[in-house]
Amino acid sequence: MTDMPTPPLTAHELFEKLELAIHEHLLAPGTKLGEDEIGDVYGVSRTTVRAALQTLSHQRLVEHKRNRGAFVAQPSVQEAREVFEARSLLEPRNAYSAAERATAEDIAKLQAHIDAEHDALHSGNFGRAIYLSGQFHIEIARISDQKTIEAFITQLISRSSLIVALYWQRRTAMCESHAHDALISAFADRDGPLAEELMKNHLLDLLTSLDLCNKTSAPLSLKDALSP
């Protein structure tokens, strides 16, 4: 029996693959996203690529520059400060609410994120570790059961991924932080005030780990970045 050919990716599936590549820092800020190159890598049409890039643009992960094409977005220093200021306003109180609502199942999911993050760190995959760290924060927002705040935090985490790719200066110190473990302990104890304080300090530590001076990344070629 002849195997059926694998159908080409849909625009949404391509969007998800490119989104993950950006969040895991396989595609660095400033990388040019050539339609033909992406089409060659994934075996899809230019129409599919354009639709995926348009969705990434709506998510503010991609910037379209007139007469130059699409590029992975490069947040400015000012935006980096604004994003982390917004996170510092939203996430500590959100963690307080999550601590009051977290179930044993919720805590198990958070622990799974931490375990996966540690595995990525130990294998030297810092981009994957940073992505999982962001997902940990999004999971806390989900546990808090505040849908509007969760949507805002999810958008801020998405921007944070680009900011970290550009301005992170303490990559080797990631494994020194036990902030996520401490947060899980606070959730297990249903200690809202402690969770709030821990999140506040954690975000401050993240901010101080950024080298907020104007810079641009030095992206790999698109084909090299996306090749398995």
Considering only residues 204 and 2, tell me which one the structure prediction assigns the higher pLDDT.
Answer: 204
Do 93 and 178 reside in the same domain of the chain? yes
Residues contacting 123, CB < 8 A, separation 6+: none
* Among 200, 121, 134, residue whose Cα is nearest residue 161: 134
Do 111 and 166 reside in the same domain of the chain? yes
Per-residue pLDDT tens over the stretch 195-219: 999 999 999 988 888 888 766 555 5
Flag whether pLDDT at 58 surpasses 50: yes
Q: What percent of the chain has pLDDT over 70?
A: 88
* Among 193, 207, 227, residue whose Cα is nearest residue 81: 207
Do 88 and 46 reside in the same domain of the chain? no
Q: How confident is the model at residue 84 (pLDDT cuts 50, 70, 90)?
A: very high
pLDDT at 211: 84
Q: What percent of the chain has pLDDT over 90?
A: 61
CA 60, 64, 67: angle at the middle one, nearest 5? 175
Do 100 and 58 reside in the same domain of the chain? no
- Dihedrals φ, ψ of 199, to 5°? -65, -40
pLDDT at 227: 64
Flag whether pLDDT at 160 surpasses 70: yes
Do 117 and 91 reside in the same domain of the chain? yes
Do 66 and 177 reside in the same domain of the chain? no
Tell whether 6 is covered by a domain: no
Do 191 and 161 reside in the same domain of the chain? yes
pLDDT at 4: 61
Do 47 and 106 reside in the same domain of the chain? no
CATH number at residue 56: 1.10.10.10
What is the distance between the alpha carbons of residues 71 and 173, in angstroms, rounded to a whole number?
29
Domain with 165, as residue range(s), is: 77-208
- Is there a contact between 24 and 131 (Cβ–Cβ < 8 Å)? yes
pLDDT at 208: 87
What is the distance between the alpha carbons of residues 184 and 217, in angstroms, rounded to a whole number?
34
Do 175 and 98 reside in the same domain of the chain? yes
Do 98 and 145 reside in the same domain of the chain? yes
Q: How confident is the model at residue 26 (pLDDT cuts 50, 70, 90)?
A: confident
Do 203 and 221 reside in the same domain of the chain? no
What is the distance between the alpha carbons of residues 194 and 187, in angstroms, rounded to a whole number?
9
